Each structure stands twice: as C-alpha cells, then as structure tokens.
Structure 1
Amino acid sequence: MLLGALGTILLVAALSLVLAALRVPVLGPAGLVVGVLASLLLVPAALAVLAVRYWQSMYGREGYFTMSIPVRGRSLFWAKTLYALIVAVLAGAVSALGLATATVVLGLSRGLSASAAFDALGDMLDSVGTPMIWFLAVVLLVQLVFAVLCGAAIMSISAEGRFNRLGFGAPLLGWVGLYVVMQGAGLAAMLFVPLGLTIGGPDAGTLVAQGMLQEFLDALQSSGAGGQQQVDVLGLGVIPLTIAVTALLSWWGVRSIERRTSLR
C-alpha cells in the first residue's frame, strides 16, 4: 500500500519534470507545476497511509493478531512509530530532492544550460545560508516526530472502550482537538517563551533570549496607524512546546495500549 502510493506519486513527478525539462509545448509548463505538487505531496501521502495502516494493524481486524504478540504495548508503539518516522524522513528527503530538481528544470525550461541551471540552484541555497537550511531541517524533523508520535498516540487513546464506538471518527476528532489546542498554545509560546531567531538586520540567523511579544504589539500598533512594522525576531517557543506535547502524548498513548486497549 505504501510503496504503491508513493511509487505512483514519484512516477508522476518524474515524468512531469522530464516533460518540463524537454520543453514540450503545452505539457512542459503544466508538467513543472505537477512535478512540484507531486513532490510536496510525498510526505502528506506517506503520513496518511501510515496512519491508516497503524489503525488497521492495531485496532482493525489485524489488531487481534497484533495484540497476541508476546511483547509489551510500548514495544508495539515504538516499533511502529520508529518505522513510520524513518519512512516520513525518507519521504521528506525525496521531496526536497524533487523540489531541487524542479528548480533546475525551471532553469532548463527557460533556456539555460544545465551548468547554469545548477549554478542558479546553488546561488539560491547560498542566499538562504547554511545555518538557516540546517535550522529549517531541524524544524521539519521536529514536526515529523510530532506528527508521527502524536498521531499514533491519539489513535491509541481513541481506541479505548469509551471512544471506540465512534470508529475512525474518534481519532479524527482527536486530531482536530489537538490542532486547535496547538494553534492557541503555539501562538502564546511564540509570544511569551524567551527563545527567538533574529530574521532581520546584520545578526539574522542568530538565536536570542527573546519572544516576539514586543514585535507583535509593535506590529499591531503599526497596523492600526496604517503602516507596516517589520518583524525582526521570530519566536521559537513553539519548538519546546511541540517537544513537550509529543512526550506527553507518547506516554499517554503507550499507557493506553498497555492498560485500556479495547478491540471490538
């Protein structure tokens, strides 16, 4: 199921980018757009398939076999989530490669030579900067860990006897609730937690012991006065918040598997 879904997306992306690189009339420009969209779709598709398989193998018909394996619930949880995380990280790496390829193909479609197109990609990466690239990679990794572990934990909690009558609707409600909570708590963390990243001026890319509350208030005042305030500090409080929520839900999910699993 996983190989079929991701393999199809990869094939579509590859064929589309080839059409764009060859500058095929009509199909070439459309192929570039399809190639970019397919590359971006890889990680969400992988997470969706992994979520479905986790639910089926733990709490669907296959759950009776899974729960008969003579290991503790935490072993089941970590085996499945670590596998899912490896798949998600690989999908993310392939997605990044696809986007980089699309950048080169864009240069080729505009008549640049292959070397010039690769030079343009290198210039773009240099403009972003190595520290920022590593920072973005860490942020994306944290988000993938959050998505995989919290998704599995919510499904395990939703499979308890008091919730499982809702079927797969229970984890869907759990995900919606988590999203709403994280939006509100994430905004508060960005404003008040003294951890930020300078994104403007000569010190851009450096960490500072500062939230973005003052930046937020200044932006509100500037907006009310009809102006536009430039934000120089990006609050990073959402990162420790995400790690803490991931740890809490993982503990809760393991506890639910070991103490409250209810198969219908």
Structure 2
Amino acid sequence: MVFGGIAVAVSLAFGIYSSQQIFRPSENPQSTEVEYSPTTSASTNSPAKTNSTKASKTTNETIPGIAYLPRLEGKATVVMTVKGQPITIEVDGTNAPITAGNFVDLVQKGVYDGLTFHRVVHEPQPFVVQGGDPQSKDPKVPVSQLGTGSYIDPKTGNARYIPLEVKPKGSDTPIYNKPFDATAQPVVLPHKQGAVAMARSPQSLDSASAQFYFALADLGFLDGDYAVFGHVTQGFDVVNKIQVGDRIDSAKVTQGAENLKI
C-alpha cells in the first residue's frame, strides 16, 4: 500500500508501548510495533482485510453489553489543552455513537486530564500522535512502560471496552465487531489528516478503551479497521508539536454535553 511515495506496512498494536507502538489492553499484553517497510506491496503486518464484507445488518442488539455503554446522540465539541495551547475536536456521535460517547464520557469524568502522550511518529512518514493511557497519570510509571492501560470503571472495578464501530457510506447504522473493506465501499469517517480515532489491538476488535490517536496525515489504509470518531477543527499545529512525554493539561466538553446519554 503506497503512502508518501513508499509502501507502508502497518501493524497497529496497542500493547506494551515504546515510542513506536499503539495500544493493546489485554490480560496478556504483547508488544507489537507499527512498522514502516519500504517494499513494493503491503506485508502481512498490514491491518487485516480478509474478513471484511459489504455493509451488514449488524445492530446494537447483537453486541452483548452495548446497551450499557455511553452514547453520543449528535455532535459535541471537546477542547483539549496541551502545554497551554488548545486543540478543538469535533466529536461525531451521529456516525460513531458508541465510540464518541465513550470518549466524551471519559472527558466529562476528567480521565484525560494529566495523561501523557506516549507515542509520536513523524518518521519515516507522518503517522500518529497517541495518548490516553490512564496509567500515565502516575508519574512513577515511565513512558517506556505505557500502553497497556485501560479505563477502569470505579463502579464495577473492571475495564470498560468498546467494540470496533465503522459506518460505511450509504448505511443507516454502523457495523460492529468486524473489520470493513473500505476499498470497496468508503466509510463515513475516514482517516484524514486531523482525524481522531480509538486505538485497539489488531487481535481483538473489542479492545478499545481510553487510548486514542491523532492522524498526522491521510491514513486511508486504516479505514475500516480502526474507529474514527471525530476530527481536529482548530489547533492541528499544536498536535504537530506534541512530543513524547507531553501531558494533556485538561480536556473539556464545551458544546454538546447534553447529547451524551449514559
């Protein structure tokens, strides 16, 4: 798959993080990196498309526990401040209600305040800036050990995970729990520069929890495999300046909080 003049082989793994990893919340986390391989074709480390199909009629009722997850019915605006500078994010609950609802709920709970960006990839091509590991609120946890953390619901004492949620163009509802072939049918929320999406394990479609990433460039090869839930409307220059170890000063819902249903 060609990106920026070279082929990009990508394995998005959200696990034990170094500065070269994305996210794997798991009882037995594995370290898997996002790899850039300048070959003539995508390798087997690319996000899997083998199980992708056309839009199905998968509904909320088919996903165990989904009715208990927060939902965003409409849109909301989140202002995330990093090193004193604001990043404005439009969160799209119309097209990604569960993923957007999860994010807005965590913002409302103050989960992201003080968390670290543990992964920034600009080379060999602009890729992602990732943060949101709740473990990073503990200053004793080094950045090199971040990436396995998930949001722990204080009411249950258990981690809260959300299913992969992708809405194809022309579909009334999103598809859940399965990768979707976006090369055959585009998705409503693509990985354009400035997109905000949830990190997850490639081995588990329902492993997204709190960690998210900003797309530093158009990353269409991720469409259908990772859930975009919003985009940066102002402050992308701030995103581009984020470095590993930078913390989120605060994240606040400034509009649309009434659209969150818990």
TM (normalized to structure 1)?
0.25
Structure with higher RCO (Cα < 8 A, 6+ apart)? 2
Bigger Rg over Cα: 1
TM-score (normalizing by structure 2) = 0.25
User: Which has a greater percent of strand?
Assistant: 2
Higher-helix-fraction structure: 1
